[in-house]
Amino acid sequence: MSSTRTLVSPLTLSRPRGKAVYWTVFTGIVLLFALAFLFPVYWMVTGAMKSPDEVAGTPPTLVPHHWHLGGYTDAWDLMDLPTHLWNTVVQAAGAWLLQLVFCTAAAYSLSKLKPVLGRVVLGGILATLMVPAQALVVPKYLTVADLPLIHTSLLNDPLGIWLPAVANAFNLYLLKRFFDQIPRDVLEAAEIDGAGRLRTLWSIVLPMSRPVLGVVSIFALVAVWQDFLWPLMVFSDTDKQPISVALVQLSQNIPLTVLIASMVIASIPMVLMFLVFQRHIIAGISAGSTKG
């Protein structure tokens, strides 16, 4: 792979002048990346450890004069971070689980069980891809506030995050396309052996679908963790808000160092997940795009 020819030929690069230009550009890019992408993260992590005077003073200091961990412990207590982090975990985990269960079942049905009107249903699901999600938040909010027929409100309830998350056409279509590739023979063999539909899904289809389930899981978790507008609407009750909403609501009235520490803590779970699964995440993004 690394030997494939790109814009600049290997020959040009091997010449002294090519080498010089290459290493100059390389150094420039390293510096640019460090400055643009790593430095802000460093600035956040160390900013929380400066004293309140130092963080507000000019000129800014690159390294804290004294390292205070107080910013982080204060954030943990003052901002009630355990509650908000836990709320976020509950919301993300539930949305992930329900999405896996319902989207997988629906995709399996549409792909393999061929219900009457299945094509119409799939068309209806795909049509929602055309409707920009944010443009519908207000009527969606009204629906969640007063569910039709049963007249219950899901406001201030994690279900208000979980159930709408299931209506994810992108993930469902991803699963359906993957199931389409599983040959019929495999499923028919299982049926001849006496496996029912649920059994076939559980023991044959799901184990074969591990890659796509991983991708869907990552998408589902990241989406909930990063979302802001929807949880802002759903949770007016401060104790139930996820960390993204709580950060903004509380940002006005707390010392800067405490806010910065909270920002760092709010970022840690997603950044950690990215560092652990980076190979899969990056491969998923790159592959998804070129295959269309």
Partner 1 sequence: MTEAAARPIETAAEGPDRAPSPVAGRGRRRLTDQLRAYAFLLGGLLCFALFSWYPAIRAVVIAFQKYTPGSAPEWVGTANFTRVLHDPEFGAAWRNTLLFTLFALLIGFAVPFVLALVLNELRHAKAFFRVVVYLPVMIPPVVSALLWKWFYDPGAGLANEALRLLHLPTSNWTNGADTALVSLVLVATWANMGGTVLIYLAALQGIPGELYEAAELDGAGLLQRIRHVTIPQTRFVVLMLMLLQIIATMQVFTEPFVITGGGPENATVTILYLIYKYAFLYNDFGGACALSVMLLVLLSAFSALYLRLTRTAGEDS
Comparing C-alpha atoms, which of 174, 253, 263 is closest to residue 217?
174
Determine the interface stretch with partner 1 among 71-79, 181-189, 205-213, 243-251 (rule: CB under 8 A): 243-251
User: Per CB under 8 A, does 184 bind partner 1?
Assistant: no
User: Per CB under 8 A, does 194 bind partner 1?
Assistant: yes
Q: How far is the CB of 29 from partner 1 (least distance, A)?
A: 6
Q: How far is the CB of 239 from partner 1 (least distance, A)?
A: 18
Q: How far is the CB of 283 from partner 1 (least distance, A)?
A: 9
User: Per CB under 8 A, does 59 bind partner 1?
Assistant: yes
User: Per CB under 8 A, does 86 bind partner 1?
Assistant: no
Residue 246, C-beta contacts closer than 8 angstroms, at least 6 positions apart: 79, 80, 84, 238
User: Per CB under 8 A, does 123 bind partner 1?
Assistant: no
Residues 196-215 binding partner 1 (CB under 8 A) are 196-199, 201
User: Per CB under 8 A, does 31 bind partner 1?
Assistant: no
By beta-carbon proximity to partner 1, the closer residue of 208 and 263 is 263
- Round to the nearest angstrom and report the end-to-end CA distance of the chain: 22
User: Per CB under 8 A, does 239 bind partner 1?
Assistant: no
Q: How far is the CB of 60 from partner 1 (least distance, A)?
A: 6
Q: How far is the CB of 262 from partner 1 (least distance, A)?
A: 9
User: Per CB under 8 A, does 183 bind partner 1?
Assistant: no
**3-state SS assignment for residue 63:** coil
Helix axes 159-166, 210-226, angle to 10 degrees: 140
What are the structure tokens assigned to 101, written together?
A: 């269960």
CA dist., res. 32 & res. 26, Å (int):
10
User: Per CB under 8 A, does 82 bind partner 1?
Assistant: no
Q: How far is the CB of 135 from partner 1 (least distance, A)?
A: 4
User: Per CB under 8 A, does 97 bind partner 1?
Assistant: no
Please provide the DSSP assignment of 150-186 as one string.
Answer: T----TTSTHHHHHHHH--HHHHHHHHHHHHTS-HHH
Distance of CA 158 to the CA centre of its chain: 17
User: Per CB under 8 A, does 33 bind partner 1?
Assistant: yes
Single-letter amino acid code for the residue at 22: Y
Comparing C-alpha atoms, which of 85, 12, 136, 13 is closest to residue 247?
85
